[in-house]
């Protein structure tokens, strides 16, 4: 694994929109429509099984300029898998993205959030593991300021 990131230092406050567990036929189209209306981009951490079931939605994500990340094949909790099964989860999801979308995921996010680095294995193609905090209504006040979603 190249590195594990919780956040990235920037000169100005920045927030990244990320969505996990899709592409989902109910929610992904709504999210994509809202992002397009706002002129915003996001990263979609896709599961291989969902991408296999809904390849057109995955293609729409890419076609509309969003980034795709690896969220494992079937959303197993990696803390309870052996190294062989972890590797299989990562590689199958990676193959689904590259074969279906023509995209090599740069980022990997483990399902369920926390995962000790030594248990997460090494994402394919030296992808970087991304661990992010969650706001869920507890973001700093500055996150709620109105402004351009492109900023």
**pLDDT above 80 (res 108):** yes
**pLDDT above 50 (res 11):** yes
Instruction: Tell how far CA 116 is from the center of its chain.
Output: 18
State the pLDDT confidence band at 4, using cuts at 50, 70 and 90: low
Distance of alpha carbon 52 from alpha carbon 125, whole angstroms:
20
Q: What is the end-to-end Cα distance of the chain in Å, rounded?
A: 30
115-149 per-position pLDDT tens digit? 655 455 555 554 555 545 444 444 444 444 455 55
Q: Whole-model pTM?
A: 0.78
Domains along the chain with CATH numbers: 18-135 (3.20.20.370)
What strands lie across the sheet with 4-5, from one edge to the other? 4-5, 128-130, 107-108, 67-70, 43-46, 18-22
Instruction: Tell how far CA 135 is from the center of its chain.
Output: 16
Contacts of 3 (CB under 8 A, 6+ apart): 128, 129
């Amino acid at each position: 694994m190249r590195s594990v990131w919780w956040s990235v230092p920037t000169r100005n406050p920045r927030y990244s929109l990320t969505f996990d567990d899709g592409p989902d036929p109910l929610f992904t189209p709504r999210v994509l429509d809202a992002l397009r209306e706002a002129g915003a981009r996001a990263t979609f951490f896709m599961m291989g099984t969902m991408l296999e079931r809904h390849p057109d939605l995955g293609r729409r994500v890419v076609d509309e300029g969003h980034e795709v990340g690896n969220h494992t094949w079937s959303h197993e909790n990696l803390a309870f898998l052996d190294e062989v099964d972890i590797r299989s989860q990562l590689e199958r999801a990676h193959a689904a993205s590259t074969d279906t979308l023509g995209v090599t995921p740069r980022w990997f996010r483990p399902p369920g959030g926390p995962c000790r680095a030594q248990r997460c294995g090494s994402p394919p193609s030296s992808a970087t593991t991304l661990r992010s905090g969650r706001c869920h209504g507890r973001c700093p006040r500055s996150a709620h300021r109105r402004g351009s979603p492109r900023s």
